[in-house]
Protein backbone atom coordinates (compact mmCIF):
# COMPACT_ATOMS: atom_id res chain seq x y z
CA UNK A 1 0.00 0.00 0.00
CA UNK A 2 1.15 3.50 -0.74
CA UNK A 3 2.04 5.45 2.41
CA UNK A 4 2.93 8.85 0.90
CA UNK A 5 6.41 9.04 2.42
CA UNK A 6 9.22 10.39 0.26
CA UNK A 7 12.88 9.61 0.91
CA UNK A 8 15.17 12.36 2.19
CA UNK A 9 16.89 14.51 -0.44
CA UNK A 10 20.09 16.47 0.22
CA UNK A 11 22.16 18.37 -2.32
CA UNK A 12 25.32 20.40 -1.98
CA UNK A 13 26.02 23.60 -3.87
CA UNK A 14 29.30 25.42 -4.41
CA UNK A 15 30.16 28.95 -5.45
CA UNK A 16 33.34 30.92 -5.82
CA UNK A 17 33.51 34.70 -6.18
CA UNK A 18 36.46 36.65 -7.54
CA UNK A 19 36.68 40.44 -7.19
CA UNK A 20 40.29 41.12 -8.19
CA UNK A 21 39.53 44.14 -10.40
CA UNK A 22 37.92 47.37 -9.34
CA UNK A 23 34.15 47.47 -10.04
CA UNK A 24 34.17 43.90 -11.43
CA UNK A 25 33.00 40.75 -9.70
CA UNK A 26 32.71 37.23 -11.17
CA UNK A 27 30.91 34.35 -9.49
CA UNK A 28 31.01 30.74 -10.65
CA UNK A 29 28.60 28.25 -9.12
CA UNK A 30 27.64 24.60 -9.22
CA UNK A 31 24.20 23.52 -8.11
CA UNK A 32 23.83 19.88 -7.00
CA UNK A 33 27.58 19.36 -6.85
CA UNK A 34 27.37 15.57 -6.43
CA UNK A 35 24.68 15.20 -9.15
CA UNK A 36 22.27 13.55 -6.70
CA UNK A 37 19.04 12.21 -8.17
CA UNK A 38 15.87 13.33 -6.40
CA UNK A 39 13.69 10.73 -4.68
CA UNK A 40 10.93 9.10 -6.67
CA UNK A 41 7.46 10.13 -5.58
CA UNK A 42 3.88 9.46 -6.52
CA UNK A 43 2.18 12.81 -6.35
CA UNK A 44 -1.25 13.17 -4.79
CA UNK A 45 -2.87 14.48 -7.97
CA UNK A 46 -1.56 11.56 -10.01
CA UNK A 47 -3.65 9.01 -8.10
CA UNK A 48 -0.69 6.67 -8.47
CA UNK A 49 -0.96 6.60 -12.27
CA UNK A 50 1.96 8.90 -12.91
CA UNK A 51 5.16 9.40 -11.04
CA UNK A 52 8.06 11.75 -10.98
CA UNK A 53 9.52 14.38 -8.72
CA UNK A 54 7.98 16.93 -6.46
CA UNK A 55 8.94 20.09 -8.34
CA UNK A 56 8.71 22.30 -5.26
CA UNK A 57 11.60 20.51 -3.55
CA UNK A 58 13.53 18.57 -6.20
CA UNK A 59 15.03 19.13 -9.63
CA UNK A 60 15.48 16.08 -11.88
CA UNK A 61 17.85 17.90 -14.24
CA UNK A 62 20.85 17.10 -12.04
CA UNK A 63 24.01 19.18 -11.77
CA UNK A 64 23.99 22.66 -13.29
CA UNK A 65 26.55 25.43 -13.64
CA UNK A 66 26.19 29.18 -13.57
CA UNK A 67 28.39 32.17 -14.17
CA UNK A 68 27.53 35.66 -13.00
CA UNK A 69 29.49 38.74 -14.05
CA UNK A 70 28.80 42.04 -12.31
CA UNK A 71 30.24 45.40 -13.26
CA UNK A 72 29.53 48.52 -11.24
CA UNK A 73 29.48 51.74 -13.27
CA UNK A 74 30.45 54.89 -11.41
| Domain contains 23 | yes
Residue-number span of the structural domain to which 49 is assigned: 14-71
CA distance 29 to 21: 19
Sequence-distant (6+) residues with CB within 8 A of 19 are 25, 26
User: pTM value?
Assistant: 0.71
Note down pLDDT in tens along the chain; length 74 residues: 566 677 788 999 999 999 999 999 999 999 999 999 888 776 655 555 555 677 777 777 889 999 999 999 98
| Domain contains 7 | no
Res 14: pLDDT: 98
**What domain count does the chain have?**
1
Cβ neighbours around 38 below 10 Å, total = 20
| Domain contains 6 | no
Amino acid sequence: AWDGNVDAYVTYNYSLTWSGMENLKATFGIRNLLNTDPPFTVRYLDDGDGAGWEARVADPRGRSFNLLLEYRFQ
